[in-house]
Amino acid sequence: MEKKKFAVVLSGCGVYDGAEIHESTMTMLSILEEGGEYQCFAPDIPQYHVINHLTGEEMNESRNVLVESARIARGDIKPLSAFKAADFDALIFPGGFGAAKNLSTVAFDGANATVNQEVEDAIKQMLAVHKPIGALCISPAVVARVIQGVEVTIGNDPGTVEAIEKMGSKHVVTTHGQVVHDHKYNVFTTPCYMLDATILDIKEDAGLVVKEMMEEMKKNERI
């Protein structure tokens, strides 16, 4: 049996202005543990801003989302413009504020957010062929902005829940160790660091969402 191929979409490097490193790493680890393989992608665009992760203050410099994401991917990464659904079995988005600042404007515009065109195109490509889409932490809000009516979870944060509902999608309150699977759109989501968490919780959540995505793909093969 051929290994299932995941496209992992990163949004920079670091929780406050890019992809959450623990969630990204545990997602990639989980894919390999489940017998799959992955290719990292990121849009080749400027970051919204750069945050000093020691102080939390904004820094007077500019960085590129693809270049910063390459730190997590150890250089093995492609621009999201090169993504084609035909080449992959699943698409997954780790969290971090980069999903809400670089992949979209959810952090600033809430329910009225716009989504980066390449991100939207990747989601819609997978949606068109009913291949699994996974999203961790805040990134389900990005998916909810693209797929109106989708059922997702970000845990229980009231402001984000309200934004998702205003987008026309449905939110399910969850905690660690839970995955919401929207069967209609084949979307899998889990809260991760949207809740108080340790890296062990992140390993569990990322592992579960990848495992359920793999099980869905294997089930569809048997049908």
Helix or strand holding residue 23 (H, E): helix 21-33
SS3 38: strand
SS3 32: helix
Domain that holds residue 37: 5-222
The residue among 155, 184, 195, 193 whose CA lies nearest residue 172 is 155
* Residue 60 belongs to domain with CATH number: 3.40.50.880
Give the global pTM.
Answer: 0.97
What integer pLDDT is reported at residue 221 of this predicted model?
Answer: 77
Total domain count, the chain = 1
Whether pLDDT at 6 is above 80: yes
Q: Residues 196, 72, 154, 212: is their CA dihedral positive or negative?
A: negative
How far is the CA of 13 from the CAs of 50, 153, 184, 207, in angstroms?
10, 23, 32, 21
Whether pLDDT at 222 is above 90: no
The residue among 145, 191, 184 whose CA lies nearest residue 168 is 145
Which tens digits make up the pLDDT trace of 117-152?
Answer: 999 999 999 999 999 999 999 999 999 999 999 999
Integer-rounded Cα radius of gyration of the chain: 16
Which tens digits make up the pLDDT trace of 63-103?
Answer: 999 999 999 999 999 999 999 999 999 999 999 999 999 99
Which tens digits make up the pLDDT trace of 9-61?
Answer: 999 999 999 999 999 999 999 999 999 999 999 999 999 999 999 999 999 99
Q: Which residues are catalytic?
A: 137
Q: Residues 56, 60, 65, 66: is their CA dihedral positive or negative?
A: negative
